[in-house]
Structure 1
Amino acid sequence: MTYLDYQASTPLAPEVKAAMTPWLDRFANPHSPSTEGRRAAAAIEVARDQVARLLPEGGALAFTSGATEALNWAIKGVSELGPRRKLVTIATEHAAVLDTAEWLGARGVEVVRLGVGPEGLVDLDEAAVAIDDSTALVAAMLVNNEIGVIQPIVALSQLARRAGALMLCDAVQGYGRMPLPEGPDMIALSAHKIHGPKGIGALWVGEGVRLDPLLHGGAQEMLGRSGTLSPMLCAGFGEAARLMTQNMSDDRAHVDRLWTAARTALGPDWTLNGSATDRYHGNLNLRREGLDAARLLTDCRDIAFSLGSACASGSGRPSHVLRALRLTDRQARSSIRLGFGRYTAEDELVSACQRLDQAARSQRVVG
């Protein structure tokens, strides 16, 4: 199996597995005052420091069950406070943001979903009009999970601050792969997108930001989050973050080489979806005229790639991200996403891309 689905999840780093394994036998509750409990709590604090090294100075970092919880917590926690009743976000955001916004909209919060242009980038002039003194929160993704486009987070943060609103950044696909932009008041993360374990994420909150809790029942964790933390998952997240800190420049250079090799191997009949310049190169989202992408997925089942967000797979609907780029349903259904990174070998990627291109050509001949 050639694995090219890094946006859905990344392979577990061997060093992460080694850091997690001892905690299978160390079962003490980290919130217990016992000696073993304190040892577990100390390991969690080491992990917290490791994750925080790639984040802004100051503030507080709370571990969560994943980025979905972190985003829900940030959006609902802010919206429940104060008189402002407006949320501004972008039409290409992850479902964890858009669905939470829809939930708030049904409860009287005004929700503005900013559109994007054909390259997938938000119009800052439109954003400036939408972000006003009634806005409580602006929520925007750093790197889009489907098309890899990088949004202007610094500029959006400045607009939010000027209006007296808070800024939430979904940095799941960008954390550890690039320096995080200045400006956000809250940042959501996920471990399994950086070669860490599934089931753990984090929410960073800047100084002075106050949130209502999402979960109630003990407030054991930072920022009042309730629930017993897993030292094993925290240790894995921490080690994954340490490796991202250590390998960021090497990982990025490797991904840039893979991007060039993949584009060459696929050839000229594939059209890039989204900006060619403002994007992360480990995400290659392409379409081909007349392609049945679902059939290609079946024809090349020993190559792991996707047709869009893993969260929306099986829905049968065209990607909301690709439709926001003003692609037709047919164009959206003729698109595939290839994701690669640290553990992708260049020769393996080139071979997979050549096979995908050949299988796509065969559709035209048979069809």
Structure 2
Amino acid sequence: MEPAILVIDGTYIYIQKSGQFMFQRRSYSMHKHRPLVKPMMFVTTTGYIVSVLGPYFADSKNNDASILNQILNSNIQEIKEWIQENDVFVVDRGFRDSMDLLQQLGIQTEMPSFSKQRKQHTTGESNASRLVTKIRWVVEAVNGRLKTWKYLDRVLPNSQIPYIGDIVRIVCAIFNKFGTPISTGDAEQDQLLGSKMLHLSRKQNSLWERIEREGLFNRPSKWQKMETTTDIIFPVLTEEDLRNLTLGVYQLKLARSYTQEHMSETGGYEVSICKVDANLINAKIQSRHFSSKLYQLWVSFDDCNVQGWYCTCRAGARVVGTCSHVASILWYMGFARHLDKSFDFSKDWTQYLQDASYTPDPISIDESDDEGNTEE
């Protein structure tokens, strides 16, 4: 019998702040910084919702791992009867404290790599994490669907708390019966994509190895800043080519915003070209989360194809798809700059706000009046 594959994650239903202090403490999420309750979702890789358990409290005693441990130890909904040895649970890093229990039950667990000791995952860790996230997105899509119901997308009054669990289960049942499938792709194409990702996951990042070997990192003397990106003969890419390189659409969605922030005054992306290899470019990308952090990336190419990439971000060493920083360079250099129409960037709202960190130059005030007399 084929093993079952379940994708597990908690979702959030926001509630009012309670006047009952014990409940207020236990329903306050330090992660979201607001009161909420947490239903736990069990979903197949096709988006079918197998079960919704809870809702649970939101305090530190009710993190994802604690909730799953309680479900398994208490055999809620007789879960041990419908999961078997060698079944697969796909989870995020929040379930890392459940790994021992799942191993005892014979459940195979797939989780993105987790490491606080290093600033960057190895190529193998990054590749393995991408394989997991490619499967795990389905539970995020299901959770997003729940919030399309306005009742579940707003802050619920506390008088509705007794009914939240039943309402979420009813909505999920409606989705299972009448909703469009989450995954609408061709089965054969999905099989080919999966095989491609597995093949790439066994490879090393040769560009990273070359950068280390040739000392191209932090060596300004080996790079020349290009005034205009038209001087670089970069391969022209279609939208399908970009999806084949990123192996997803999430990175391409972020690519536009990264490009918008890094466009120069002359309208081009600021990149540098290697003095000893015209088919190797370098760029620095501002982190979207931290103002003090810049990521450095490299892309190698020939006349027709992108050959490799490497970025100093946490996931930038992977070869199973690209990070969003590399996707930004690929999107602009290979696709966007060849379009005749202007880019459809996000609206810049900064012009409508004041900036207290900006201090204008002191204005010299002439204290003399029009007659040349100094006022007292």
Compute the TM-score of the two structures, normalised by the length of structure 2. 0.30
Pick 1 or 2: higher relative contact order, CA cutoff 8 A, min separation 6: 1
Compute the TM-score of the two structures, normalised by the length of structure 1. 0.30
Higher Cα Rg: structure 1 or 2? 2
